[in-house]
Amino acid sequence: MNDRPILRMPDRRLRSVAAPVGEVTDEIRALADEMLRVMYAAPGRGLAGPQIGEMRRIFVMDCGWKEGAPDPCVMIDPEIVWASPETASCSEGCLSLPGITVAVTRPAAVTLRFTGLDGARHEDAFTGFAAVCVQHERDHLDGILCIDRLDAQTRAAMADVLRRIEGP
Ligand code: NI
């Protein structure tokens, strides 16, 4: 089967809550491979299941490959179990929102609990751009996009653009 295309807004699947994966089967390992291929080809640094219409709680990311240090990660049934009180603002784009870049303020560091491809639960701490990526991709699993994380002033200034993104 060919790799699936990346869905773009206003596709409603991007606004839906994804279902837990549970056990890591061969099918899930094949899905993770497909998602990594689609992400690298895009080219992007993160991709969540719903972005290719796979409504399950899985995302892939690789924050450093564009700088020459590939580190593919697969996170299944991820939960953010800690977020720092300190926040940081970062410019974010999304493969499902081509041409849109927004400044988003989020916790500067997070701890993520997730199932790896080995089937075991893991817990990892993330800071810097990796923390941004983890939170952005985790949001996709609940139908939340980076444009939902804007402050009120930016939201108001971008009202027309946001309406167009959401579609009819
Ligand atoms: Ni995204």
- The CATH number covering residue 30 comes to 3.90.45.10
- Dist CA 28 CA 21 (whole Å): 8
Compute the distance from residue 96 Cα to the ligand 1 centre, in Å: 6
Residue 69: its pLDDT value, please? 87
For residue 3, being part of any structural domain is answered with no
Burial of 17 (0-12, 13-18, 19+ CB in 10 A): exposed
To the query of whether residue 123 is one of the catalytic residues in this protein, the response is: no
pLDDT of amino acid 168: 85
Structural domain boundaries, residue 58: 12-166
Residue 56: inside a domain: yes
Catalytic member of 34, 54, 92, 137: 137
The C-alpha angle 103, 107, 143, rounded to 5 degrees, equals: 70
Task: Report CA(4)–ligand 1 centroid distance (Å).
Answer: 16
Q: Is residue 5 assigned to a domain?
A: no
* Centre of ligand 1 from the C-alpha of residue 52, in Å: 11
* Residue 51 domain flag: yes
Point out which residues pair with 124 in neighbouring strands.
Answer: 112
**Cα separation, 59 vs 116, whole angstroms:** 11
- From CA 162, how far away is CA 100, in angstroms rounded? 10
| 1 within some domain | no
Per-residue model confidence (pLDDT) at position 89:
97
| Assigned domain for 59 exists | yes
What is the radius of gyration, based on Cα positions, of the chain?
A: 15
Tell me how crowded residue 157 is: count the other CB atoms within 10 A of its CB.
12
What's the number of domains the chain is made of? 1
Q: Measure 94 CA to ligand 1 centroid, in angstroms.
A: 4
Taking the model in full, what pTM does it have? 0.96
What average pLDDT values come out for the chain (168 residues) when binned by 10 residues?
Answer: 94 98 98 98 97 98 88 97 98 97 97 98 97 98 98 95 93
